[in-house]
Every structure is written in structure tokens, then in C-alpha cells.
Amino acid sequence: MHWRGWQTPALQALAIQLVAALIVYCSATFLLPFTTLAFSLGHAAMLQGALAALLSAWRRMPRWWLPIQLLFPLALLATLGMQLPPVLFLLGFVFLLALYWSTFRTQVPFYPSGPAVWRSVLAQLPAPAAPGTATPLRFIDIGSGLGGLVLSLAAARPDGRFTGIEVAPLPWLVARLRARITNSSACFVRGDYGALDFSRFDVIFAYLSPAAMPALWQKVQREMRPGTLLLSHEFLIPDQAPHITVLPDPQGPNLYGWRR
């Protein structure tokens, strides 16, 4: 199977930084001996950042990558200058890995939602059915983070089955602990929502990223049953007008919905 990981922005950014560093190194090695210019590590970091930003713009990377590429070498140089104990870098790496896990591949960073969004999602759920007349409402949050939405819905709608799935181990563990401490009926599983069968659910909630929405829509079209609902906070599906548009918070983004 052909691995497409190098198409992800994070690895492209890393490759660009390495190319920029190589250009700066070669320039300093072969050109500086013929000049009288003073060239420090600080100058090299600034030049590498500028080259990386220009190369990122040439590669048409999202605009928010440009300041990251520009400042990364200087930030790295400043951090090394602090002479921090190596164990701090290891602990920081482990923490970020547990929090973000495969963000570089999925392009879905950690986006927590809030109570206003939870209330808006609750308002979009189908009305409770009479006891014994229908199967319980089945809801899943794909990328459930710390579990706030699922826990809130499970408390408000005891007639339903509310599940969250999260690939990053730290948020998943926190959500599991919160459910156990509060004796909630919410269920949290660790895994990739791409392996789920969407036909098992009546409502699917997503707070992902623009990069993930086209593939999500393809999966929805293949698997979701007629009459079910996809909700997405903030991010639209390209070329698919939503059936529902709600503004949970005047200061925040919309909640969108598509009915199958």
C-alpha cells in the first residue's frame, strides 16, 4: 500500500525546514569565506525561517503555517539557549504525543467544544420515543476529546446511548475517568472513527477540521442510513449545503447539520 503520510502538512513543513537548513548551511560553508560578513547562529536561524516561510508559500501551504515556519528556527535556538534539562523535553514530548497522537496524519487537532454547543446539539436530537416503542437513540461523537459533550447528553437524555470515540490516549483516558467518577452511562472507546460502521448510529457529531470533511462525507454517504443526522461544529462539507445551521454562541462558530 502506498503511504501518503508525506502529503500531510506537518511532514511537509518538516521537509521544508530541512531544505531551508541545508541551503543556509551550504551558503555559510561555501560563500562566507569569500566575504567579510559576520554571520551568527541567530542570523542563520532568521535566514532559515525566512526561506522556510517562502518555500511554504510556494508549496501553497495554509497561511497559518507561514508564521510557524518563520519563527520555528528562532524558537528552537532560544529553547536550546535556556539549557533546560533533557528530561523536560522528553516529558513534553510524551505529553504532547498522548494529547495529539496522530494529528500530523489526520490533520485533526484537539478542538474542545463548550456548553453552548452541547445545548445546541441536544436541541437537534430526535424527541424521546415512548418507552418500549423503539430502539434507544444511538449517538456518537467522533473525536470526543475530554468527553464533555457525550457526558452532558447522557445526563440530559437517559433514554439514549451516547458514545465517544477518540484516538489520542490522554483525552480518552480523562473521558473514561470522568464517566466512572460521575457514574455516567456514557461510553468512551479508543480508536479511529474511520473503522466504525456509521450505520449503527442515528446521530453523528464531528468537530474535526476542514481537511477531514471531504473524506467524512464520503463515509457518511456510504454508511449512514436514511433518516439519520450528521452534525458538524464550525466546519462545512465542501459543496454540500447544510440542512441545519445554528449559532450556539454569538461569539463562536455555527453548528451545521445534514440529514440523510
Same domain, 136 and 220: yes
Residue, of 187 and 31, whose pLDDT is higher: 187
Give the model's confidence band at 27: pLDDT under 50 very low, under 70 low, under 90 confident, else very high: confident
Query: What pLDDT does 37 receive?
Result: 67
Residues of the domain holding 56:
5-83
Q: Does 139 have pLDDT greater than 70? A: yes
Summarised one tens digit per residue, pLDDT across range 162-178 is 999 988 888 889 999 99
Distance between CA atoms of 217 and 172, rounded to whole angstroms?
24
Assess whether pLDDT exceeds 90 at residue 257: yes
Residues 78 and 120 in one domain: no
Q: Is the pLDDT of residue 91 over 80?
A: no
Report which DSSP code applies to 141.
E
What are the tens digits of pLDDT across the range 174-212?
Answer: 999 999 999 999 999 998 898 999 999 999 999 988 878
Question: For residues 68 and 14, is the Cβ–Cβ distance under 8 A?
Answer: no
Residue 87, amino acid:
V
> For residue 168, what pLDDT is reported?
82
57-84 pLDDT, tens digit each = 898 776 767 888 888 888 878 877 777 6
Q: What is the pTM of this model?
A: 0.67
C-alpha cell at 226: 436514511
| Banded model confidence at residue 131, pLDDT cuts 50, 70, 90 | low
Distance of CA 66 to the CA centre of its chain: 19
In a domain, 106, yes or no: no
139 shares a domain with 224: yes
Cell of 67: 508564521
Per-residue confidence (pLDDT) for residue 38, from 0 to 100: 67
Of 83, 106, 136, which closes a domain? 83
Same domain, 122 and 79: no
Give 229's pLDDT tier (boundaries 50, 70, 90).
very high
* pLDDT for 221: 94
Q: Are residues 148 and 31 in the same domain?
A: no
> Residue 214 sits in a domain of what CATH number?
3.40.50.150
Q: Tell me the three cell numbers of residue 127.
A: 424527541
Residue 97 resides in a domain = no
Element (H, E) at 86: helix 86-100
Q: What is the pLDDT of residues 101-125, one digit of tens each?
A: 555 455 555 567 889 999 999 999 9
Assess if residue 29 is contained within a domain. Answer: yes
Task: Estimate to the nearest angstrom the gap between the alpha carbon of 203 and the chain centroid.
Answer: 20
What is the pLDDT, as a whole number, of residue 88?
Answer: 60
pLDDT value, residue 233: 92
Task: Give the mean model confidence (pLDDT) for residues 239-248.
Answer: 94
pLDDT at site 231: 97
- Whether residue 94 is contained in a domain is answered as no
Looking at residue 87, its pLDDT comes to: 64
Q: Does residue 96 lie in a domain region?
A: no
What pLDDT shows up at residue 2?
39
Give the mean pLDDT of the chain. 83
158 inside domain: yes
In a domain, residue 178? The reply is: yes
What are the residues whose beta carbons fall under 8 Å from the beta carbon of 32, sequence distance 6 or more?
39
Report yes or no: 59 and 10 within 8 Å, Cβ to Cβ.
no
Return the pLDDT at 132: 64
